């Protein structure tokens, strides 16, 4: 897409204009060293700064270029607001060494910490009943952000606000659900703005009552800022499943399956197996003399008519598979009475992960070795960029050529001279599958001239 410009900001063109105008005004050429020419040289920088700021201010009116609070103002037109950051959640267990005969009240806001720097506070008042030795309370971090996810069970074990008789506290679940929301550019370099910008683009479709694809995508992405991509399926879905075979039968339950479309690799329907679909149960009957007789599992693909059903499959940034908390958020958002058309059945499920390995050997020169290692293997280097690219779009084929391009021609730094990609191999994915990174094997060698 071509860069949009409202005012000329090319420094060379502005320089020529200013100097030419000065020369016409004084009626003679202005040579280097002339005080009037020196003044013109300095004046060009001032004009360029003013024009650049004016051009940026004009561009800020366009959704493509708006950022920060200006982007917030554009979002207000559609009642689409920036998603705030969430606090990480956990469950704190308050315990006493031996039971007593009176109740112990643990007030809302009671704090515990893992390190005297980060604090988690209870979200409600709970009572440790007489005769019991512990009570659990939901708690949230006093700070927001993804940084505070992942505290292991038992690590939040220092009681900050002392409660009479309570001997110990610890978290009994790993902290979860904290995210950074859609932060302003100065906080994350603009990632939050890009997520917010995409939702604003989709926002007009949310006004439709017909249930268009973009409307469901808008509402699904609005459920949580950590959602990178959403697949919306409501026509014909192709499903790949591994089914257990018991006593010559395999079963798959669900609406809308097309029995004639069932395909088992290496086997032929009507000869090696037969398919019956009744009462929303797909039954595969293995022929006694067919190639599937000795198998305990079979891999099948089948088409499913999704008329009246809306299947929503979200994926998180970095290719992370969403947990039950995100799935429930998306379902609650998209199944709300003021969002879902009455004839739709909304189903939300995580994507199917297709694992891939990265195994590469790359070559560089002795002079560029140190810089090349940093560019390819370092934090946010070519390998990290490829993993991010591969894992944030569902249905995106696993593509080793993209890995090559990141390593050979990185955005910043020095790329390698050549590369051998052992894995991954190219693999097509369907729109409910996501490429999931598994293991990394990387080495390099000096290119001999």
pLDDT in tens, the chain (449 residues): 677 888 888 889 888 888 898 889 888 888 888 888 898 889 888 989 999 999 988 888 889 899 889 999 999 888 899 999 999 999 999 999 999 999 999 999 999 999 999 999 999 999 999 999 999 999 999 999 989 999 999 999 999 999 999 999 999 999 998 988 888 887 776 788 888 998 998 888 777 656 688 889 999 999 988 898 899 988 777 888 889 999 899 999 888 899 999 999 889 998 999 999 998 899 999 988 888 888 889 989 898 887 788 899 999 887 889 999 899 999 999 998 888 888 888 999 999 899 999 999 999 999 999 999 999 999 889 999 999 899 888 889 999 999 999 999 988 888 999 999 999 999 998 888 899 999 999 999 998 76
**Domain stop point among 319, 348, 377:** 348
Determine the Cα–Cα distance for residues 391 and 386; give it in Å rounded to an integer.
8
DSSP assignment letter at 332? H
94 - beta bridge partners?
Answer: 135, 169
Determine the Cα–Cα distance for residues 232 and 229; give it in Å rounded to an integer.
10
Residues 381 and 414 in one domain: yes
DSSP, residue by residue, 252-301: EE-SSB-GGG-EETT--BTTTEEEEEETTEEEEEEPTTSTTTT-SEEEEE
267 - beta bridge partners?
Answer: none
**Which tokens is 105 given?**
């009240």
Determine the Cα–Cα distance for residues 398 and 29; give it in Å rounded to an integer.
63
In a domain, 1, yes or no: no
In a domain, 333, yes or no: yes
Q: Which stretches of 77-153 are DSSP H helices?
A: none
Residues 260 and 314 in one domain: no
Q: Which domain holds residue 299?
A: 236-305
pTM over 0.85: no
Determine the Cα–Cα distance for residues 331 and 343; give it in Å rounded to an integer.
16
Residues 344 and 212 in one domain: yes
Strand order from edge to edge, sheet including 263-264: 236-244, 297-305, 263-264
Residues 52 and 127 in one domain: no
Residues 329 and 364 in one domain: no
Residues 325 and 230 in one domain: yes
Determine the Cα–Cα distance for residues 398 and 389; give it in Å rounded to an integer.
10
- How far does the chain reach from its first CA to its final CA, in angstroms? 40
Rounded to whole angstroms, what are the CA distances from 84 to 179, 226, 408, 440?
Answer: 9, 11, 38, 35
């Amino acid at each position: 897409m071509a860069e949009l410009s409202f005012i000329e900001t090319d420094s060379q063109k502005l320089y020529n204009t200013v100097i030419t105008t000065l020369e016409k005004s004084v009626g003679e050429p202005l040579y280097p060293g002339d005080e009037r020419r020196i003044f013109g040289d300095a004046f060009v920088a001032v004009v360029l700064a003013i024009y650049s700021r004016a051009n940026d201010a004009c561009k800020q009116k366009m959704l493509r270029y708006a950022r920060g609070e200006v982007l917030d103002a554009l979002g207000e037109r559609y009642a689409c607001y920036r998603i705030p950051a969430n606090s990480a959640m956990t469950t704190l267990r308050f315990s006493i060494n031996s039971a007593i005969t009176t109740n112990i009240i643990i007030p809302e806001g009671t704090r515990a910490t893992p390190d005297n720097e980060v604090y988690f506070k209870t979200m409600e008042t709970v009572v440790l009943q007489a005769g019991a030795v512990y009570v659990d309370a939901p708690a949230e971090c006093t700070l927001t952000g993804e940084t505070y996810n992942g505290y292991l069970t038992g690590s939040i074990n220092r009681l900050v606000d002392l409660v009479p008789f309570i001997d110990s506290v610890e978290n009994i679940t790993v902290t979860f659900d904290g995210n950074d929301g859609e932060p302003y550019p100065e906080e994350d370099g603009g990632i939050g703005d890009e997520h917010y910008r995409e939702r604003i683009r989709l926002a007009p479709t949310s006004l439709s009552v017909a249930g268009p694809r973009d409307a469901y995508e808008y509402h699904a992405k609005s459920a949580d800022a950590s959602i990178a991509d959403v697949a919306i399926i409501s026509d014909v879905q192709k499903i790949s499943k591994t089914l257990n075979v018991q006593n010559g039968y395999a079963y798959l339950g669900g609406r809308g399956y097309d029995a004639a479309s069932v395909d088992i690799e290496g086997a032929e329907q009507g000869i090696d197996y037969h398919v019956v679909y009744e009462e929303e149960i797909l039954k595969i009957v293995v022929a006694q003399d067919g190639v599937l007789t000795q198998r305990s599992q079979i891999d099948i693909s089948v088409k499913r008519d999704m008329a009246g059903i809306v299947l929503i499959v979200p994926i998180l940034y970095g290719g992370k598979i969403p947990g039950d908390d995100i799935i429930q958020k998306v379902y609650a958002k998209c199944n709300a009475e003021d969002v879902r058309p009455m004839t739709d059945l909304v189903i939300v499920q995580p994507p199917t992960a297709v694992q891939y390995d990265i195994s590469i050997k790359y070559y560089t020169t002795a002079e560029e070795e140190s810089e090349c290692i940093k560019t390819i293997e370092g934090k946010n280097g070519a390998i990290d960029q490829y993993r991010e690219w591969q894992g944030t779009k569902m249905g995106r084929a696993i593509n080793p050529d993209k890995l090559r391009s990141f390593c050979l021609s990185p955005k910043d730094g020095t790329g390698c001279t050549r590369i051998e990609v052992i894995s991954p191999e190219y693999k097509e994915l369907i729109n409910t599958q996501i490429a999931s990174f598994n293991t990394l094997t990387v080495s390099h060698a000096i290119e001999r001239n």
